[in-house]
Homo-oligomer: A and B are copies of this chain.
Amino acid sequence: HLPPLKPTTVRMSMTQQTRNSQPYGASVQADIEAHIKQFLTIKEPLAVFEPMHHLVFNAPKTTVPALCLAACELVGGQRHRAISAASALLLMEAATYTHEHLPLTDRPKPVVKNHVFGPNVELLTVDGIVPFGFELLARSDDGENSERILRVMVEISRAVGSGGVVDAQYRKTMDTRSDGEEVCHVEEIMRVVEKYEGELHSCGAVCGGVLGGGSEDEIERLRKIGFCVGMIQGMAKRGFNEGNEVNEARNLALQELKFFKDKELDAIKILLNI
């Protein structure tokens, strides 16, 4: 039987770092990457592990893993309780990003991304990254939190799976013309943002809440707050920086945040761009 994985030593709490005016996101990201690096070493077979290392640590950063840790702390949990879930989320997003940019015979020619590896290596590497994410999470069981971990796995499976990110990816494909330009209908874009950034952030917040020992009420509020964070981030990514939809999402989140009024909210507020 495998020993449970020890969480990486976490240097100081998120809010302390913010107060010390370190760039908050960067430091959280570094902690999560350090945790992953403990277990994802470059080893034999190099043909497998070198691309895996590269694709995981060079995918664009998102705020989902940081939100997971922030949610854990918000419900009073120690940050290290959620570090494996945050790591799994980072891995899932790297996997998603890579497959999304894979050149396929029936996809328009990619315009942006430089590929270090060929499509075959990228495809197979991702097929290794996803189970590695679940493995990391499964091994973080310390004998007391196994039910919480299983619950988090269900949340992550749903967010990245057919009803979540995969659905959003289909929609994106259908909205893409053969020259690679995305057709921009605001409603359809919003639907993609909901299923993509919305559900992923929602999932990140719930995972943090579950592993931090939050109550069911707290977890459901975090689900809504996470969704709002995701909508704001997803809209910003697509150029909707301000506007009715953004304000609406921010107000909804602030409404739910009132419930946590005695708690340390700096981290979440940064993620809400407040």
Chain A positions 166 through 181: 1 when the CB is less than 8 Å from some CB of chain B, otherwise 0: 1101100110000000
Chain B residues contacting A241 (CB-CB under 8 Å) are none
A143 pairs with B138, CB closer than 8 A? no
User: How far does the alpha carbon of A150 sit from the alpha carbon of B128 in the complex, in Å?
Assistant: 18
A131 pairs with B130, CB closer than 8 A? yes
Known: A47-B170, A120-B106, A162-B49. A154 touches B130 (CB 8 A): no
Q: Which of B118, B119, B150, B162 contacts A150 (CB 8 A)?
A: B150
Q: How many residues of A contact B (CB 8 A)?
A: 57
User: How far does the alpha carbon of A95 sit from the alpha carbon of B131 in the complex, in Å?
Assistant: 12
Binds B, one of A15-23, A26-34, A96-104, A255-263: A96-104
Chain B residues contacting A48 (CB-CB under 8 Å) are 162-163, 166-167, 170
Is A123's beta carbon under 8 Å from chain B? yes
Chain B residues contacting A129 (CB-CB under 8 Å) are 162
A153 pairs with B170, CB closer than 8 A? no
Known: A150-B146, A162-B52, A166-B48. A99 touches B123 (CB 8 A): yes
Is A269's beta carbon under 8 Å from chain B? no
A124 pairs with B160, CB closer than 8 A? no
Chain B residues contacting A150 (CB-CB under 8 Å) are 138-139, 141, 146, 149-150
Is A239's beta carbon under 8 Å from chain B? no
Chain A positions 88 through 128: 1 when the CB is less than 8 Å from some CB of chain B, otherwise 0: 00000001100100111111000000000011110111011
Is A135's beta carbon under 8 Å from chain B? yes
User: How far does the alpha carbon of A162 sit from the alpha carbon of B134 in the complex, in Å?
Assistant: 13
**Residues of chain A from 139 to 157 with CB closer than 8 A to chain B in the complex:** 139, 141, 143, 146-147, 149-151, 153-154, 156-157
Known: A102-B104, A124-B173. 10 other contacts (CB 8 A): A1-B216, A2-B151, A2-B154, A48-B163, A99-B124, A104-B105, A107-B119, A124-B166, A127-B165, A131-B157
Q: Name A residues whose Cβ lies closer than 8 Å to a Cβ of B.
A: 1-2, 45, 47-49, 52, 95-96, 99, 102-107, 118-121, 123-125, 127-132, 134-135, 138-139, 141, 143, 146-147, 149-151, 153-154, 156-158, 160-163, 165-167, 169-170, 173-174, 216
